[in-house]
């Protein structure tokens, strides 16, 4: 009945090694001797000051001539927004209370904004002029009701 004694507890394990201890050569060798799975990888230029090493990729980037940037709202669209807003007697702040924030309206008018179809749609409905497609600046036509 000694096996069913719930009052005594026996612990037969050691404390796990810390991260730095488990990375040491002795710890890796001991784990390999025990037959455990050990994965070792050598870090590229580890422990060396080779941050600014010229590689093939950096040379390719240096010779790259294509400029990569986000497409911005054309100035034509900004002028249409400004004209439509002024025709209705609205300031940028007034238009912003209808559709977006004042800074967003200012960015669209000066051509700094990255086009967003949702924002463009809100501004189109607010000023009543088309801002997308071929006929930019034309009056916005109400869609015919589907039957």
pLDDT at 5: 62
Give the relative orientation of helices 75-87 and 117-127 as an angle to the nearest 10 degrees: 30
pLDDT per position in the chain (147 positions), as tens?
556 666 777 777 777 767 766 678 888 888 889 888 888 777 666 666 665 555 666 667 777 766 767 788 888 888 999 999 899 888 888 888 877 788 988 898 898 888 888 988 888 888 888 988 888 888 877 654 555
pLDDT at 47: 64
Q: Output the pTM of the full model.
A: 0.50
pLDDT at 144: 46
Q: Give the integer Cα–Cα distance in Å for 26 and 117.
A: 61
pLDDT at 9: 72
Residue 103 phi, psi (nearest 5): -65, -35
């Amino acid at each position: 009945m000694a096996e069913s004694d719930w009052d005594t507890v026996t612990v037969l394990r050691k404390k796990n090694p810390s991260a730095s201890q488990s990375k040491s050569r002795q710890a890796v060798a001991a784990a390999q001797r025990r037959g455990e799975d050990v994965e070792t990888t050598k870090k590229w230029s580890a422990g060396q000051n080779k941050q600014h090493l010229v590689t093939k990729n950096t040379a390719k980037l240096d010779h790259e001539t294509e400029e990569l940037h986000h497409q911005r709202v054309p100035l034509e669209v900004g002028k249409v927004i400004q004209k439509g807003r002024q025709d209705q007697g609205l300031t940028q702040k007034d238009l912003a209370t209808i559709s977006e924030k004042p800074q967003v309206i200012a960015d669209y008018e000066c051509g700094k904004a990255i086009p967003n179809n949702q924002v463009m749609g809100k501004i189109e409905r607010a000023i009543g002029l088309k801002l997308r497609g071929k006929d930019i600046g034309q009056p916005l036509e109400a869609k015919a009701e589907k039957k």
